[in-house]
Amino acid sequence: MKAILIAADGSGALAWGDAPAPTPGAEEVLIDVRATAVNRADLLQRRGFYPPPPGESEILGLEAAGVVAAVGAGVTRVRVGDRVCCLLAGGGYAEQVVVHEAMALPIPDALDFGQAAAAPEAFYTAFVNLVQEASLVRGERVLVHAGASGVGTAAIQLVKALGAVAYVTAGSDDKIARCLALGAEAGINYKTESFPERIAALTATQGVDVILDCVGGSYLEGNVASLGPRGRLVVIGLMGGARAEVNLGLLVSRRLRILGSVLRTRSLAEKLAITDAFRADVWPLFSNGTLRPIVDRAYPIADAAAAHDYVAANRNFGKVVLAIRS
């Protein structure tokens, strides 16, 4: 099969070349991949900073959508010919990938392969961290950093669907306007405004209940200041550094919680449990139109490097898709 390969010389160059085809195990399905999507983890892995978990594919790609081409002897939930999408630990930038049958989600009729490929990583991440980690409930207020990202656009929609209120940060007024159109209550341009000051004004100094943060160190002080009593900060990325000081007095007096979360390295058993909950509680919302993947643009898989450059420059609103087959 063909796959995107990373040059062995350390340059990070990408090429569409030959790779060994995967073979499904007893409980696995083989998918002919039609589309995958770009995630910042792919950019890090390309640079040698985020290797896949042991035993997982070295090929880039944390999600895929396509058609089931073959099934293992013990598979009962999926059939050859089914349209499916899935979260992956790696392997999505390829013509074929294997995944446990329970990880394969049926693609709703309303979604094409590109849209389906843009759904798993972003919406799993939003669901796991807002619902399972932060225990978000109706009526609470949420601050979503990087609201224009794939995870951000998913989180805005999920917060609204849960009956909570979303505030977002983004790097341009245009992106903020688009976040508001998705359902955010208010937006903060982090290049021109102080998000702690705006949150204080928006909440009458009460603060928010939950913060979903992909920035990390440089935002920690502002995040803690923006949380109200019993607030929860979920850190899912470290784009702003891995170290920072924190006012422990605020943590104690407001009874705050800081949670660190990662999805890729969780065990298969954990991912299966997450998928069961996601399938029951979130996936039906794509069929009825409550949730939708936001696709900024699609590139041919051979242009994966250009797609990476586009995401690295923060030009995207929502997800960037890589089309593998029509």
pLDDT of residue 299: 98
Residues 6+ positions from 248 with CB-CB distance below 8 Å: none
For residues 37 and 148, membership in a common domain is answered with no
For residues 115 and 150, membership in a common domain is answered with no
For residues 28 and 133, membership in a common domain is answered with no
At 154-198, the pLDDT tens digits run 999 999 999 999 999 999 999 999 999 999 999 999 999 999 999
For residues 276 and 248, membership in a common domain is answered with no
Distance CA 209, CA 130 (A): 11
Distance CA 206, CA 224 (A): 12
Element (H, E) at 113: helix 113-117
For residues 195 and 290, membership in a common domain is answered with no
pLDDT of residue 325: 84
pLDDT of residue 19: 98
At 213-252, the pLDDT tens digits run 999 999 999 999 999 999 999 999 999 999 999 999 999 9
Residue 326 has pLDDT above 80, yes or no: no
Contact between 199 and 167 (Cβ < 8 Å): yes
pLDDT of residue 40: 96
Domain span at residue 41 reads 2-119+264-323
Token pair of 200 as six digits? 């204080």
CA nearest 111: which of 15, 37, 173?
Answer: 37
Domain boundary among 215, 231, 260: 260
For residues 287 and 193, membership in a common domain is answered with no
Is this structure's pTM higher than 0.85?
yes
> What's the mean pLDDT in 304-326?
96
Average pLDDT, the chain: 97
Q: Give the CATH number of the domain where residue 255 resides.
A: 3.40.50.720
Contact between 35 and 300 (Cβ < 8 Å): no
Q: Give the CATH number of the domain where residue 36 resides.
A: 3.90.180.10
For residues 129 and 240, membership in a common domain is answered with yes
pLDDT of residue 106: 98
For residues 249 and 146, membership in a common domain is answered with yes
For residues 168 and 243, membership in a common domain is answered with yes
At 21-79, the pLDDT tens digits run 999 999 999 999 999 999 999 999 999 999 999 999 999 999 999 999 999 999 999 99
Coarse DSSP helix, strand, coil percentages of the chain, rounded to the nearest 5 percent: 35, 25, 40
> What's the mean pLDDT in 126-150?
98
> What is residue 127's three-state secondary structure?
helix
Q: How many CB atoms lie within 10 A of CB 238?
A: 15
Task: Give how many domains the chain has, as a whole number.
Answer: 2
How many Å from the N-terminal Cα to the C-terminal Cα in the chain?
16
Q: Using alpha carbons only, what angle is made at residue 222 by residues 152 and 169, rounded to the nearest 5 degrees?
A: 25
pLDDT of residue 20: 97
Token pair of 193 as six digits? 């405004």
> What's the mean pLDDT in 94-115?
98
pLDDT of residue 168: 98
Element (H, E) at 298: strand 295-300
Domain boundary among 216, 232, 260: 260
pLDDT of residue 50: 92
For residues 59 and 109, membership in a common domain is answered with yes
Contact between 189 and 171 (Cβ < 8 Å): yes
For residues 170 and 281, membership in a common domain is answered with no
